[in-house]
Structure 1
Amino acid sequence: MTTDTPAQLTQPRAASVEVSGGNVSFLQKGSGAPLVVLHHSISSHGWLPLHERLAERYAVHVPDLPGWGDSDRPDWARDVRDIAILVELWMDAMELSGVTLVGCGFGGWVAAELATMSQSRLARLVLVGAAGIRPREGAIVDQLVVDYVEYVRSGFHDEAEFDRHFGDDPPRETRMLLYGGREMTMRVTWKPWMFNDALPVLLTGVQTPLLVVWGANDAIMPLDCGEQFAEAAPNAALHVIEDGGHFLDFERPDALGELIEEFGSEA
């Protein structure tokens, strides 16, 4: 008989499943009701403190979106709804039901599109600084007109948190992961940039309870977008986290985790 060491017990399980002819890689840890976290356009960057916190209560699954990270690229995918379809097929393959689906940034757009197509596997939906809606005020930052590392840095209210996660001068491996994410993002979000004008209308049919979370200091995605998400869906509420930027899952894991846990406890 083998015995896991404490260090091994802290590590998530890494695996992959085949979806529509390509592999989708994911990390998984914890037990209980399933919770899926969809990452930003910058790709997944491993198992984060937020994931660890949530795994104390949920069976947490963190996939690399198809075309990002270690997941295979679907060459036919040309818009965000294509990615959302693949995520739903991945949940089918994983036999997940009663899912709390958490989408961060671009992943929030994917989660929102998925919910407008099918809610059968969803129990709750959490959108964190989500893309997908055209702002009425301000503008979504264009990743192509700024240095990409500086783009990511601008998404942190506290630059020390950026340095802690990525380094003051991110290594080549990290930069390649970031640039790979940007390339795939361009493939599926270009023209129009980072929004779908049909989404607010489609969200009116989403009955799944929705929590919209925004950083008060989000310099990438205007707060107006969060307000529109909350206005569009019938069972939605907006919560703004003070002293937080766009990447709340990196920068404010405890504040975000507490909101998700409280939302999950609501009847």
Structure 2
Amino acid sequence: MDDHESARVRAFLTRVGLPGLVDVHTHFMPERVLRKVWAYFDAVGPLTRMEWPITYRHEEDERVALLRAFGVRAYTSMLYPHKPGMARWLNDWAAEFAARTPDCLRTATFFPETGVESYVREAVEGGARVFKAHLQVGAYDPNDERLDPVWGLLAEAAVPVVVHCGSGPAPGKHTGPEPVGRLLARHPALPLIVAHLGMPEYADFLALAERYEQVRLDTTMAFTDFSERFAPFPREARGRLADLGERILLGTDFPNIPYPYIHQLEALERLDLGNEWLRAVCYGNGARLFGLDDPAGAA
């Protein structure tokens, strides 16, 4: 374990006045699935088109220990299918992982396929706290009619869904703000979390959050030196980030990031939006959303 980096993260917490972190975008998967994800990044696949070294290529127990050492009080096991027949199996694994890793919010996923409403309902009734949908990797339209009862179910149950719907690092057939805009027009109460702040269509996804009260955005990889090279956040939109401060959530993509965890936190800090904003983004908003404790303690 990197004690030096843990000390830097703890110093950030002290400097900002935080009791810990809530990270809504971390990846834990069945080992053989995660190894394939890492192999994809190693091969510079068509979605990334760039060198992407995995910083935390550790065994599962070491990755869990690292997050705890960083002061992450709650995190997720973002997983996602790329074809039919995977989602239920992934959900079973995630339920078992959350049962033996109590600081992980039980995570689930889905795919437009026969039986999707049934296994999503099972996951919700079984205690799933958050879902992941990956429109880019899954290559599906969120408006697929097979998913309509799923979105309605999740909206009614008020279970948030982290959706990779932006067109970064490369556009997909169904990425971008237009498909999600159509989805929200039908399900305006859907608690949707736009992954990566909608990179690179930041302004368009901020506009959706301004229009729909249950839309939030996570910070995953945004503002980092790595992402600013190919998808810089527009400086003129920083004021909108401040205005939406209660609906911006910390996300990092741990462990699949090509830089240290602390860099995401320092990238947020250098936006110079103030410690109150940082306390809300890095802890309070997530704690409130998931009912972890009274987030007033982070203010």
TM over 0.5: no
| Structure with the larger helix share | 2
Q: TM-score, normalised by structure 2?
A: 0.35
| Structure with the larger strand share | 1
Q: TM-score, normalised by structure 1?
A: 0.38
